[in-house]
Structure 1
Amino acid sequence: MNKLAQEKSAYLKHSANQKIDWYPWSDEAFEKARLESKPVFLSSGAIWCHWCHVMAKECFEDEEIIKLLNKDFINIKLDRDERPDIDRRYQQAVALMTAGGGWPLSVFLTHERKPFFGGTYFPPDDRFGRPGFRKILKTVSEHYRENKDTVSEYSEKIINSLKPGALQEGGIEIGLLDEAVKTIISEFDPQNGGFGTAPKFPMPGAMEFLINRFFFAGQESIGLAAKKSLYAMAKGGFHDQIGGGFHRYSTDEAWIIPHFEKMADDNAWLLRNYADAYSVFGDEYFRETAEGIINFTRDVLSDAEGGFYASQDADVTPDDEGGYFTWTENDIRNALNEEEFRLFSLHFFHEKGSMHHDALKKVLFVAKDIKDIAAETGMPDERIDEIIKTAKGKLLNQRYKRQAPFIDTTLYTSLNGIMITSHIKAAKALGDNSLKEFALKSLNRILEMYFINNKLFHSEGVTALLDDYIYLSDALTAAYEITGNSPYLEKADLLIDSCIKKFWDAEGNGFFDTETEVIGLRLKGIEDIPHPSANAGGIMLLLKLYHLTDKNSYLQYAEKALRSFSIKATGLGIHAGYYYAALDAYFNMLRLTLYTPHESDLALTALSVHSPYTSIAHSEDRGYVLPCLKSECMEPVYSAEGLKIFLKNRGTKNI
């Protein structure tokens, strides 16, 4: 065993039996590189990553490559989920050097931790237009030995290029919302749904912005882009048609063939999108999709004692990509009766779902709608739907008999914060109190595990990052809103105050991603890549806390961040989606103060009727709800029906 055997990360432990002299990220490794005058090879990946497993099998079990690595390099293995701060910096460095990125990330460093060469997946020998790893190791080792001064100068330039420059401030103008909508809609794929071309990622920040803009503006083009994209994702193989939940992204434009890993953060953000879409559009298909995410999360990515796991791997073995999730015709025929097989196959089984390495194996996607099957067979829609649901249940039971891909049961603070907030949102949208109860149970467990003596951790032994502070504070705020328990709000207030002290850029505004420099860098971004950026989430949270605490400083921080990122956001297109959601919230956030008992019809209406950018405050019983914007309050609302009408009509008043 190498030095990874005692690590907490499942991904690092996965490499503990390899013959490579792996180190975890540590001062020891870099000091050894300095003393032995060797370059460092850093391999960053994750337990869910298919191509990480492929490279591990092809390269890290190859005897010649093992000898080269052990002789000429100091080797470090990094779990990008455990240390996203380190991975993020080297991802940006490799993007500068090669215009690419992703996992596995393969980077060569000096003993000063500065990158001088890198890439992603490398095959052992020249293949797929990529240089072989053997050749790379020999070339890099020789280049490092013979050109140390040049390597040092180049690596210094790379690090300097990554340092964030001063941001040019812009205005906070309501007209920017319409401009942002136009820009995002211009990237919409009207044929396949979603945005841009393959590979396609869900863009949940932009989706939330579009759904909310449709609520306020009612513009048909916005509704079309949002609904078409949500339908397309839910009908594709990107959506697990049998087990519920979503894979990480689609390899094709039509959302058919996914990368199969299933991630907590992807599913948390998409749960919000589908819950919001159900509330705004009233489409039962969106509700069913949201419930599928919830069921998958409950069955696979959650701990009965509270808390949400990080991910489910893409494969059982790298030789059979997606094997756990795909089906042959015989698999389906053996599990179903003749009628079930016929209707299920018409609905889900199509050649377009064929896997590249084995065409007999298919990704299931909605190839033919139930209405079209009804027209073709003469059977009623309801009967077909009933039979297909029965068939799906049988296939899910068959899947459970297969060896399942690895589940990373690590509880990360940031991921749990996102998932807790999403479950509370879904509890309100779907009227499911059990979601609220499990979310609160999970929140209390994360606080107990990772908020120790007023110090927050990302995971065991890893200091919290910006994302941890923002998303845990957001979860605490959501918990206060749905329960009325003020200790949740007090803790959110405490955490965000600490976050500002630790992460706020006093000179340029906005939040840095880390409390201190990591490899000489503190980064500050607003891009959704593809998940909403923590800075945008921070702005949204500051606005909520301003409305809930009346602390004007929170509004001032939000305004400073909005101005600082305003010009940069205009050039990011869809990748600034959540920034524009935060800007939308700045103009349209509503505070409802519940001067009514928590279980009253008035309070229950305030908590259940969808109203974008609404903060819920709790106060003593006076028999009414008081709606307020930033600078003005409206007439109190005394009846549940009156409140429902007021909230539904918000869209006609604030555009």
Structure 2
Amino acid sequence: MAERLKNQASAYLRQHAGNPVDWWPFGDAAFNEARRRDVPVFISIGYAACHWCHVMAHESFEDPEIADFLNQHFVSIKVDREERPDVDSAYMAATQALTGQGGWPMSVFALPDGRTYYAGTYFPPQQLQGTPSFRQVLEAVSGAWRDRRQEVEQSAAQIAEHLASGQLANARLLGTIDGAGLPDAAEHAEAAARALSSAVEVLEGAEDTDFGGFGGAPKFPPSPLLRFLLAHSGSSAPTAAAAAGLAARTLTAMALGGLFDQVEGGFARYTVDRRWQVPHFEKMLYDNAQLLRLYAQWARAAEDPDHRALALRVTRETAHWLDLRLRLPGGAYASSLDADTQVDGRRVEGATYVFTRAELTAALGTGNPALDLLDVDADDGASHRLPGSTLRLAAVPDEAQAQTWQEARQILAGVRGSRPQPDRDEKVVAGWNGLAVAGLADAAAVLADNGVPEPQVLEAARDAAEYLLAVHRQDGILYRVSNHGSVQGIEGLLEDYAGVAEGLFALYAVTGEPRWHAEAQTLVAAAVDRFLASGKLSDTAAESAQVRHAQGGTSSASPLDDAVPSGTALFAGVLLTSASYGGPARHRALAEQLVFHVLRAAPAAPQAVGWAMSVQQALLDGPRELAVTGSDPDAVAALLAAGRAAGGPSLVIAHGPPDRVPLLEGRNTEVPALAYVCRGMACRQPVSTAEELRAQLRPDVPAG
């Protein structure tokens, strides 16, 4: 039994290799076995850092009697949602349709062709407050398959039809993607500008004005949305100041609260409360990659010195945390750290991270002024069932307070380092690592531009990029997952191709090394070939037959963000960047079509299309492009720093050898330094001083 899972790339699958359940990985072989035995399929979906996944595994999948029933009456499949988001998305839609909610662990019962007929999330070992026990569920769904097969078939057909309608809705929202361009560019620009301003107004109404962010508990970092708000805040739109305020309040609240690890750096996946105080302690690469970049961008935009210092601190500490906790041999980054820590043979959520008041006093000393900076639980975390309090800063520290906390956190880090540490999921996901490359590159640049250079951060970005190209790209195909330096499993999804290209473009913009630009352009071209056909965009290059059956025989790329930006939005962004560097003009037209849905979606559901709105904002801005050339490295660096500070997150930057990137071709390289500001490839007269460059990059200055 263990043989099928023990060598999988996914730590989540390997965690279950020793279960008495006869697990199969997702694939044709498992479904063929179900068809051969004429039994239904049980699909259990989760991920390595998931607390409740561990709970259900211990309660049910390690139980010999439960395992025996599963083995007799089902073919059981274990799925890592991070490795197979295509599978997770399809069955999550089915679970939500049946129950009105979703989450992990997800428990799905399907026909041998992949269609769902029953689903839920966590089931307890005994009946609890109206929730049936897992054994009761197994007996009921097995009995239905045995005794009421026609009803099961009808139910599966209805669910598949419902899922098909959702896929068709996605297709209608995206429309036909043929690269032909928009019929009336000026009219579209006016409508897009109104839509983006309307989105900001909607978000003002949805803001949690007491604690920052949007909505109530639980609270997740709205990373793709924050990218849009930062981009919009640098525009000439009437809602720019409102966007800046929304972004600043959310970023401040997250940086001060328990979502951010005040001792070691890095962000948890979400908080269980609306105050950003008590996290669910799992830490994910995809969150930290995006938030690293956002805080680097906010460090340029923040006007208040203390807020700017806070943004720089979070940037630096998150980059350090990635290096300390997620960086793997070879330079890539692991997927996550577990929510739980093994303490005396049992899993305890948050045990590595929390402190009681007595522990804080013992570590720092009575009367240490750092204690006055903290907002800790009066009951030492008992109200949240934690063995201590998460550490939160009560307010944005000034310079002296920041230094006091820096000294204290080093002491507390030593205490934490002696504790048991959470497990790490070491699978490497291509798209998330691409976002990490982008975040590290931007972090290195902002730290250097603010006089605190950390060259190892940029080297880390290079190393991760090298790993992705050397390991994940094989014979022109980018693979999604690797483990210990070897790719396994499916070809990369649209989000992987686009995410890696995003990282490589960002790395080129910081280093000026043309190799990264060339590799990014190659990936964008490959994505066009593999995911766009007959006017239709797909999230996968090779769709699973079972997923297709589950979705009623139809599929479409999803344009909606989740914790990570949608593959559609990421793809639109790198297509626009490609065109801005002088790539095929058709890439810009494709980008315009891929975010056309923003006109309808932005005012109605802005939190679902944040990254697409940021791409639309860049389109409205031109986008702005900056080419810097010259013979004096220091003068070039000074212009680049000024451009990065004034240009905002959508600025496309080219520098380095002038004969390898079209945006640099024909520029004067004989003078110490010149900066060319362009919008949509229409350029102004070059300038040689930072003051002139800042003036040209103001959002109200036209091209030409």
State the TM-score bracket (shorter-chain normalisation). over 0.9
Q: What is the aligned counterpart of 2:686 among 627, 636, 651?
A: 636
- Do structure 1's residue 627 and structure 2's residue 677 form an aligned pair? yes
CA shift for structure 1 position 352: 7.2
Aligned counterpart, 2:185: none
Letter in 2 for 1:111: P
Distance 2:32 2:373 in 1: 62
Taking structure 1 as reference, are residues 600 and 393 closer, same or farther at Cα in structure 2, changes over 3 Å only? closer
Of stretches 186-195 and 592-601 in structure 1, the one that deviates more from structure 2 is 592-601
Distance 1:551 1:343 in 2: 55
Contact 1:526-1:565 within 8 A present in 2 as well: no
Aligned counterpart, 1:254: 275
Aligned counterpart, 1:410: 427
CA shift for structure 1 position 413: 0.9
- Do structure 1's residue 455 and structure 2's residue 480 form an aligned pair? no
Q: Deviation string for 1:49-88 (max 9, x for gaps)?
A: 1110011111112233222212211111111122222112
Aligned counterpart, 2:560: 527
Aligned counterpart, 1:135: 136
Aligned counterpart, 1:284: 309
- Do structure 1's residue 617 and structure 2's residue 618 form an aligned pair? no
Distance 1:180 1:653 in 2: 25
Contact 1:203-1:531 within 8 A present in 2 as well: no
Contact 1:348-1:365 within 8 A present in 2 as well: yes
Distance 2:492 2:259 in 1: 32
Aligned counterpart, 1:446: 468
Letter in 2 for 1:183: V
Contact 1:167-1:568 within 8 A present in 2 as well: no
Distance 1:113 1:400 in 2: 46
Aligned counterpart, 1:125: 126
Taking structure 1 as reference, are residues 605 and 109 closer, same or farther at Cα in structure 2, changes over 3 Å only? same
Distance 2:313 2:331 in 1: 24
Letter in 2 for 1:471: G
Aligned counterpart, 1:465: 493
Distance 1:528 1:390 in 2: 39
Letter in 1 for 2:35: R
CA shift for structure 1 position 343: 4.1
Taking structure 1 as reference, are residues 352 and 101 closer, same or farther at Cα in structure 2, changes over 3 Å only? farther
Q: What is the aligned counterpart of 1:500 among 499, 516, 528?
A: 528
Taking structure 1 as reference, are residues 469 and 607 closer, same or farther at Cα in structure 2, changes over 3 Å only? farther
SS of residue matched to 2:295: helix
Of stretches 89-98 and 565-574 in structure 1, the one that deviates more from structure 2 is 565-574
Q: What is the aligned counterpart of 1:401 among 415, 418, 422?
A: 418
Distance 1:595 1:541 in 2: 23
Letter in 1 for 2:511: T
Distance 1:555 1:598 in 2: 33
Q: Deviation string for 1:336-375 (max 9, x for gaps)?
A: 32223x742662422377244646521222246668xxxx
Taking structure 1 as reference, are residues 504 and 453 closer, same or farther at Cα in structure 2, changes over 3 Å only? same
Distance 1:247 1:469 in 2: 26
CA shift for structure 1 position 491: 1.9
Distance 1:562 1:222 in 2: 20
- Do structure 1's residue 4 and structure 2's residue 29 form an aligned pair? no
Contact 1:20-1:70 within 8 A present in 2 as well: yes
Q: What is the aligned counterpart of 1:216 among 222, 232, 235?
A: 235
Letter in 1 for 2:226: M
Contact 2:628-2:639 within 8 A present in 1 as well: no
Distance 1:295 1:483 in 2: 20
Taking structure 1 as reference, are residues 409 and 599 closer, same or farther at Cα in structure 2, changes over 3 Å only? farther
Of stretches 536-545 and 312-321 in structure 1, the one that deviates more from structure 2 is 312-321
Contact 2:357-2:380 within 8 A present in 1 as well: no
Q: Deviation string for 1:319-343 (max 9, x for gaps)?
A: 4211111122332233232223x74
Distance 1:253 1:279 in 2: 27
SS of residue matched to 1:320: strand
Distance 2:121 2:445 in 1: 42
CA shift for structure 1 position 298: 1.2
Aligned counterpart, 1:571: 604
Taking structure 1 as reference, are residues 473 and 387 closer, same or farther at Cα in structure 2, changes over 3 Å only? closer
RMSD between aligned alpha carbons? Answer: 2.3
Q: What is the aligned counterpart of 1:354 among 373, 381, 395?
A: 381
Distance 1:584 1:109 in 2: 43
Contact 1:353-1:364 within 8 A present in 2 as well: no
CA shift for structure 1 position 531: 2.3
CA shift for structure 1 position 31: 1.5
Q: Deviation string for 1:292-343 (max 9, x for gaps)?
A: 2111111101135311111111112464211111122332233232223x74
Q: What is the aligned counterpart of 1:229 among 231, 238, 250?
A: 250
- Do structure 1's residue 190 and structure 2's residue 209 form an aligned pair? yes
Contact 2:26-2:77 within 8 A present in 1 as well: yes
Letter in 1 for 2:457: L
- Do structure 1's residue 303 and structure 2's residue 340 form an aligned pair? no
CA shift for structure 1 position 189: 0.8
Aligned counterpart, 1:545: 578
SS of residue matched to 2:76: strand
Of stretches 514-523 and 48-57 in structure 1, the one that deviates more from structure 2 is 514-523
Taking structure 1 as reference, are residues 388 and 639 closer, same or farther at Cα in structure 2, changes over 3 Å only? closer
- Do structure 1's residue 554 and structure 2's residue 587 form an aligned pair? yes
Taking structure 1 as reference, are residues 276 and 287 closer, same or farther at Cα in structure 2, changes over 3 Å only? same
Contact 2:212-2:250 within 8 A present in 1 as well: yes
Aligned counterpart, 2:291: 270
- TM-score w.r.t. length of structure 2: 0.86
- Do structure 1's residue 585 and structure 2's residue 618 form an aligned pair? yes
Taking structure 1 as reference, are residues 468 and 343 closer, same or farther at Cα in structure 2, changes over 3 Å only? closer
Taking structure 1 as reference, are residues 597 and 426 closer, same or farther at Cα in structure 2, changes over 3 Å only? farther
SS of residue matched to 1:102: coil
- TM-score w.r.t. length of structure 1: 0.92
Taking structure 1 as reference, are residues 192 and 353 closer, same or farther at Cα in structure 2, changes over 3 Å only? farther
Contact 1:458-1:468 within 8 A present in 2 as well: yes
CA shift for structure 1 position 556: 1.2
SS of residue matched to 1:267: helix
Higher normalized contact order (CA 8 Å, seq sep 6+, divided by chain length): 2
SS of residue matched to 2:699: helix
Distance 2:63 2:53 in 1: 15
Aligned counterpart, 1:321: 349
- Do structure 1's residue 205 and structure 2's residue 224 form an aligned pair? yes
Aligned counterpart, 2:71: 70
Taking structure 1 as reference, are residues 345 and 308 closer, same or farther at Cα in structure 2, changes over 3 Å only? same
Aligned counterpart, 1:421: 438
Aligned counterpart, 1:335: 363
SS of residue matched to 1:461: strand
Contact 2:504-2:519 within 8 A present in 1 as well: yes
- Do structure 1's residue 536 and structure 2's residue 558 form an aligned pair? no
- Aligned ranges for residues 105-116 of structure 1 at < 5 Å? 105-116=106-117
- Do structure 1's residue 514 and structure 2's residue 540 form an aligned pair? yes
How many percent identity over aligned positions? 29
CA shift for structure 1 position 152: 2.0
Of stretches 244-253 and 214-223 in structure 1, the one that deviates more from structure 2 is 214-223
Taking structure 1 as reference, are residues 73 and 540 closer, same or farther at Cα in structure 2, changes over 3 Å only? same
CA shift for structure 1 position 251: 0.8
CA shift for structure 1 position 644: 3.5
Distance 1:89 1:34 in 2: 21
CA shift for structure 1 position 224: 2.3
Q: Deviation string for 1:481-517 (max 9, x for gaps)?
A: 2233333222222211111111125334xx3210132
- Aligned ranges for residues 590-609 of structure 1 at < 5 Å? 590-597=624-631, 599-607=633-641, 609=644
Distance 1:425 1:126 in 2: 51
CA shift for structure 1 position 622: 4.7
Distance 1:369 1:473 in 2: 36
Letter in 1 for 2:517: L
SS of residue matched to 1:339: coil
Contact 2:199-2:602 within 8 A present in 1 as well: no
Contact 1:516-1:522 within 8 A present in 2 as well: no
